[in-house]
Chains A and B, each alone.
Chain A
Amino acid sequence: MRKIILSLIILFSLILVSVYLIKPGDTEDEYLTEIKTKLQNKSGPTTNHSKLEPLQKDFQTPQEVTGACLSCHTEAHKQVMQSNHWNWEREEYIRGRGIVRIGKKNAINNFCIGVEGNEKSCAKCHIGYGVTDKMNGYTDSTNIDCIVCHDNTDTYIKGSEMGGNPKPGIDLGNIARNVGKPTRSNCGVCHFFGGGGNNVKHGDLEKSMFNPTKEIDVHMATEGANLQCVDCHVTEDHKMLGKIYSLSSMNRDRSSCEQCHNETPHSKEILNEHTMKVACQTCHIPVYSKVNSTKMEWDWSTAGRLENGKPIEEDDELGNHTYLSIKGSFKWGNNLSPDYVWFNGTADHYLLGDTTSNLTKPLVLNTLRGSYNDKNSKIIPVKIHKAKQPYDPVTKMLIQPKLFADNQGEGAFWKDFDWVRASDVGMEEVDLPFSGTISFINTEMYWPVNHMVSTKDKSLECIQCHNRDDSKLNGLNDFYMPGRDYNKIVDNGGIGIILVSIVGIAVHSIMRIGSSRKKRSKA
């Protein structure tokens, strides 16, 4: 008997130990080593621009620099002038709308609302010079700003509200002789500051990424692979891969993790299975806005409060604006856990002139499409930016107000603080009607989070989604997820059956004990 029990114990231990040993391990795949070697063997450029004849002079205007560039790169302007960076719009097919031209000119956002009427200010981030209110610099190839992207000296700066021209006093000659592939700082000067300040819009693109640590972004980390933006946003003929769905609508030209990593990169198969429905970013970007805060809410309705006739500014303890007379009230956040949505790579947008009368829910300005049952959809992380922004309750349209002007009296809200006037002028500039009445409605924008990829050990753990209490995917309820979901009838019925069995056993054993006592007392 003892021998048998002992051998059973040994057998059980053997089984459990082998279960533990057979369980898949976690090893680094060979392909990762391959990628790393490839990155280390990157070759340098074949041209040293500081030795080129046409660049050995002092340039008086930025247009002269462009002319010098085009004297060798004779076809570059044709490519650039077809690019989204130049045109700020593109032709897209949107289901339900057909083929539309969409871009910054006709889409509305819930930050500074739109560029129309505000071009001179917005042009700080346009890759052209001489932008005026009517964008008439668009056809002149010498107005292309080559160096904002190709300056490798980190000294080039565009002026504020100067229609895209550089700040005066910059050594254009030195910059022209030190051009090369765009670096993080070239892209970052615009893309880190979208929405009027660092990290305002994206939440995953901000100035800490000029020189990030591995904790901030494992790929771009200066002490790591030190990837530049264009390493992933691969560019051919000045056409870049990658897009942000605040403006894009179609599932094309996307930059993806799979460009370097394959579709099933994990050593654990169970994780590879997840890639069918879960985007890489979902697990590998558990936190965004890791360093500086990003704007989460913008309430335009409070804008215009002046003290002694002057606009004011209120900041929180981190230095983030919480109130600006010109823009309203803000809420900020950092080290945020993203929201999660299904996304199939297509999106719809609120376009200037669209009407909406359903105000029970926030109006979504860019609807990311997708669902569990759509085989092209995956779960992606997003930042949801909420706002209260001006709306015309009579025409049912969002209002594009005139915000910026050089002088007072031109109707610009930022100079005159008059909503009705600013709306009147703004809507007239986009050829849309305005009733004279303004209200403020709730809107939302969905910003996919693609950067700030964490190190492997910081990825989401299974339990963070697969649990009943605070699953990260609590908002996505069109599918069954183990650990989070259960069928109430099955669970309650099952527990019921077990409880009935236990109670039955308890009653039965009490009766047995009773009867055996009787028996004994009889005897």
Chain B
Amino acid sequence: MKKTVYIYKAFERFWHWTQALLIFFLAATGFEIHGSIKFFGYENAVEYHNVASYAFIVLILFAIFWHLSTGEWKQYVPTMKNIKAEINYYLTGIFKNVPHPTKKTVLSKLNPLQKLVYFGLKILVIPVMVISGLLYMFYRYPHQGSIVGIKIDSLETIAIFHTAGAFLLIAFIVVHLYLMTTGATLTSNLKAMLTGYEEIEEDDKTKVDIFHNRDIAASGLTKENK
């Protein structure tokens, strides 16, 4: 039985889309700084990139606060359960119109592969980008009329981490944009991320219920979402 539920809250959607915009913008300006493309002009690219990076950091801080205060962070705790089934689904099942092995619910809206990938982004790629980015900006900087330097001899190591992270993020976005089309219909996932509402299956006993983390049930989310 299908039911329309409110799955992505307003802040979540604001965060998601703002993050999307900033990542695209940071990628464009960043790869201009890297020498790969020419568009804004080098000096502009540097200045835009720096300002946008501050915006991104502010957004991350808000998102961290939101995830912690709502308990939504638990959505991202990775699990190895059903990983194999999930991989099999995308490699073969999807072509045979086999139903999705895990069920999307308000309390568990990410499938195991998403959990793993997003968890990786949140605790590895984004921190690496933020830290290497801050070092990139501040490994030497003007302070009260003179130049102060953090004791780093070469920009090279910082740049390698920052660039590698950027490539990973782009690869992620490419795949992310494609997997967006693998929902119930081509655009149902996109619509859900825009409006917050998505039609999901309810109480289908033939599917594996990955909702195993009982703590979430106690977090009060269910009340809010009624």
A interface list, Cβ under 8 A from B: 1, 4-5, 8, 11-12, 15-16, 18-20, 22-24, 262-264, 268-270, 272-273, 275-276, 373, 461-463, 466-468, 479-487, 490-491, 493-495, 497-498, 501-502, 504-505, 508-509, 511-512, 514-515, 519
Are A272 and B142 in contact (CB-based, < 8 A)?
A: yes
Q: Which residues of A contact B195 (CB under 8 A)?
A: 1, 4
Q: Select which of A23, A272, A490, A505 is within 8 A of B163 by beta carbon.
A: A490
Q: Select which of B141, B159, B167 is within 8 A of A497 by beta carbon.
A: B167
Residue of A nearest to B95 (CB): A515
Q: Which residues of B contact A484 (CB under 8 A)?
A: 35
Residue of A nearest to B138 (CB): A273
Are A467 and B174 in contact (CB-based, < 8 A)?
A: no
Q: Select which of B43, B47, B174, B178 is within 8 A of A509 by beta carbon.
A: B178
Q: Which residues of B contact A505 (CB under 8 A)?
A: 174-175, 178
A22-B51, A466-B42, A482-B159 known; A498 vs B171 contact (CB < 8 Å): yes
Q: Which residues of A contact B43 (CB under 8 A)?
A: 461-463
Are B178 and A24 in contact (CB-based, < 8 A)?
A: no
Q: Which residues of B contact A12 (CB under 8 A)?
A: 17, 21
Residue of B nearest to A504 (CB): B175
Q: Select which of A466, A509, A515 is within 8 A of B96 by beta carbon.
A: A515
Q: What's the minimum C-beta distance from A147 to chain B, rounded to whole angstroms?
A: 43
Q: Select which of A16, A270, A463, A480 is within 8 A of B41 by beta carbon.
A: A463
Q: Select which of B35, B46, B50, B94 is within 8 A of A486 by beta carbon.
A: B35
Of the candidates A22, A504, A514, the one having the most CB atoms from chain B within 10 angstroms of its own CB is A22
Q: Select which of B18, B90, B160, B181 is within 8 A of A490 by beta carbon.
A: B160
Bound complex: CA of A463 vs CA of B33, how far in Å?
9
Bound complex: CA of A480 vs CA of B149, how far in Å?
16
Bound complex: CA of A67 vs CA of B63, how far in Å?
84
Q: What's the minimum C-beta distance from A286 to chain B, rounded to whole angstroms?
A: 15
Bound complex: CA of A384 vs CA of B195, how far in Å?
66
Bound complex: CA of A488 vs CA of B21, how far in Å?
28
- Residue B55, interface by CB 8 Å: yes
Are B142 and A264 in contact (CB-based, < 8 A)?
A: yes
Are A495 and B163 in contact (CB-based, < 8 A)?
A: no
Are A495 and B167 in contact (CB-based, < 8 A)?
A: yes
Bound complex: CA of A19 vs CA of B182, how far in Å?
34
Are A269 and B34 in contact (CB-based, < 8 A)?
A: no
A22-B51, A482-B155, A511-B95 known; A493 vs B178 contact (CB < 8 Å): no
Residue of B nearest to A5 (CB): B194
Bound complex: CA of A8 vs CA of B141, how far in Å?
35
Q: Which residues of B contact A479 (CB under 8 A)?
A: 154-156
Interface 0/1 of B1-39, CB less than 8 Å to A: 000000000000010011001100100000001110010
Q: What's the minimum C-beta distance from A308 to chain B, rounded to whole angstroms?
A: 60
Are A501 and B167 in contact (CB-based, < 8 A)?
A: no
The A-contacting residues of B in range 144-170, CB under 8 angstroms, are 145-147, 149, 153-156, 159-160, 163-164, 166-168, 170
Bound complex: CA of A265 vs CA of B123, how far in Å?
40
A490-B163, A501-B174, A512-B95 known; A273 vs B46 contact (CB < 8 Å): no
A373-B153, A483-B34, A494-B166 known; A462 vs B147 contact (CB < 8 Å): no
Q: What's the minimum C-beta distance from B150 to chain A, rounded to whole angstroms?
A: 12
Bound complex: CA of A483 vs CA of B46, how far in Å?
11
Are A487 and B41 in contact (CB-based, < 8 A)?
A: no
- Residue B48, interface by CB 8 Å: yes
The A-contacting residues of B in range 43-72, CB under 8 angstroms, are 43-44, 46-48, 50-52, 55
- Residue B206, interface by CB 8 Å: no
Q: Which residues of B contact A512 (CB under 8 A)?
A: 94-95, 182
Are B170 and A498 in contact (CB-based, < 8 A)?
A: yes
Q: What's the minimum C-beta distance from A256 to chain B, rounded to whole angstroms?
A: 15
Interface 0/1 of B99-126, CB less than 8 Å to A: 0000000000000000000000000000
User: What are 5 A-B pairs with beta-carbon distances under 8 A?
Assistant: A15-B55, A23-B47, A276-B149, A490-B167, A498-B167
Q: Which residues of A contact B175 (CB under 8 A)?
A: 501, 504-505
Q: What's the minimum C-beta distance from B93 to chain A, rounded to whole angstroms?
A: 10
Bound complex: CA of A490 vs CA of B166, how far in Å?
10
Q: Which residues of B contact A269 (CB under 8 A)?
A: 141-142
Of the candidates B90, B140, B164, the one having the most CB atoms from chain A within 10 angstroms of its own CB is B164
Residue of B nearest to A266 (CB): B142
Q: What's the minimum C-beta distance from B43 to chain A, rounded to whole angstroms?
A: 5
Bound complex: CA of A472 vs CA of B84, how far in Å?
54
Q: What's the minimum C-beta distance from A505 to chain B, rounded to whole angstroms?
A: 4
Are A482 and B35 in contact (CB-based, < 8 A)?
A: yes
Q: Which residues of B contact A486 (CB under 8 A)?
A: 34-35, 159, 163
The 7 closest A-B CB pairs, nearest first, are A494-B167, A480-B156, A515-B95, A462-B42, A272-B142, A463-B42, A23-B47
Bound complex: CA of A486 vs CA of B155, how far in Å?
11
Are A467 and B35 in contact (CB-based, < 8 A)?
A: yes
Bound complex: CA of A493 vs CA of B165, how far in Å?
11
Other A-B pairs, 12, CB within 8 Å; known A8-B194, A19-B48, A272-B142 = A1-B194, A276-B140, A276-B149, A463-B38, A463-B42, A463-B43, A482-B35, A483-B35, A487-B160, A493-B167, A494-B163, A494-B166
Are A485 and B171 in contact (CB-based, < 8 A)?
A: no
A467-B35, A480-B155 known; A275 vs B147 contact (CB < 8 Å): yes
Q: What's the minimum C-beta distance from A477 to chain B, rounded to whole angstroms?
A: 12
Q: Which residues of B contact A5 (CB under 8 A)?
A: 194
A11-B18, A15-B22, A480-B159 known; A462 vs B46 contact (CB < 8 Å): yes
Q: Select which of B41, B44, B147, B170 is within 8 A of A264 by beta carbon.
A: B147
Q: What's the minimum C-beta distance from B8 to chain A, rounded to whole angstroms?
A: 11
Q: Which residues of B contact A1 (CB under 8 A)?
A: 191, 194-195
A262-B145, A482-B35 known; A490 vs B46 contact (CB < 8 Å): no
Q: What's the minimum C-beta distance from A108 to chain B, rounded to whole angstroms?
A: 37
Q: Which residues of A contact B182 (CB under 8 A)?
A: 512
Q: Select which of B42, B90, B154, B174 is within 8 A of A461 by beta carbon.
A: B42
Q: Which residues of A contact B90 (CB under 8 A)?
A: 508
Q: Select which of B33, B168, B191 is within 8 A of A482 by beta carbon.
A: B33
Bound complex: CA of A515 vs CA of B142, how far in Å?
61
Are A497 and B168 in contact (CB-based, < 8 A)?
A: yes
Are A466 and B154 in contact (CB-based, < 8 A)?
A: no
Q: Which residues of A contact B154 (CB under 8 A)?
A: 479-480
Q: Which residues of B contact A487 (CB under 8 A)?
A: 156, 159-160, 163
Bound complex: CA of A280 vs CA of B21, how far in Å?
38
